[in-house]
Structure 1
Amino acid sequence: MQEFEEFCGGKGISKDYDAIKKFNEDYGYEFILRFADIYNDSINEIKTIKKAIDGLENWKKKSWFKLHETQYEINFFGCDRARDENPLIKVTLPKAKQMLKESLIRYKALNSIFLNMKRVFGKDDDKYLEEYLNVEE
């Protein structure tokens, strides 16, 4: 963490460019690869939640459906969320919609970072990104 704080320039007042260079040499590739993993995980999480919402919306048409009681089981197997929680989570339609909103906020933040990375590192026909993130068209 100390290295990251030095990389970010402490409180953002000034930057130690030698520390930035050292951080990049020591952790840069790992940072980019971990970011790509988190970014892809976020997309998978959103797809999983949307599938649950679609299922619940279909059930909503049935006579037995109760908005705050009928549950759909979301399987987050393969997502980072599964490492922290039980990969199987039961949700109601309102809960699934709330989870989707939260996941979209995280995704939009990650996407903003990714787009800025692409703007900076995507020069020369994305050769820098392709090397680390396997960006394909």
Structure 2
Amino acid sequence: MSGGAVEYLVSEVRDCRFVLEGPKEYLVKLNLGFFSERHKAMVLDIAEVAYAVFKGLISVKDPRTSASLMLEDIFSKYSGRRTDWVKFTVLLDLRDRGRRAKAGFEPNSLLYVKGSEKVMVFVTEENSPIRAGGLLEWIKSALS
């Protein structure tokens, strides 16, 4: 461990999702990511990895260099979408306000539980146009 952060090794990154080797239970307790039977490891969205690194909860090692990835590295090396940074800041804000938010199943969604209700948050850049068809698809996804 470095500075109290639990160490994880990145074994794969695909579509802004990180496969992390390390203690599964800790990430489950933090309500981040999901366990992949295929990989036998936890899988976290880039926003979740960035959040946990930013908060000092985990240390993530680069598979090529074994160096700890900093917040800037995560986004400069692995970000594939314009909204990745926005999603991270929304996740940070929700968690700082006590919501146990996590990445949703869509690239631009976050999930959290409010009482007995599950809430799905649509993440987009401020002042960005939203296609009606894209929003309808997202709503269908949220309802299923």
Q: Which structure has the bigger radius of gyration?
A: 1
TM-score by length of 1: 0.23
Higher strand proportion (structure 1 or 2) = 2
| Greater share of helix | 1
Larger RCO (CA under 8 A, 6+ residues apart): 1
TM-score (norm 2): 0.22
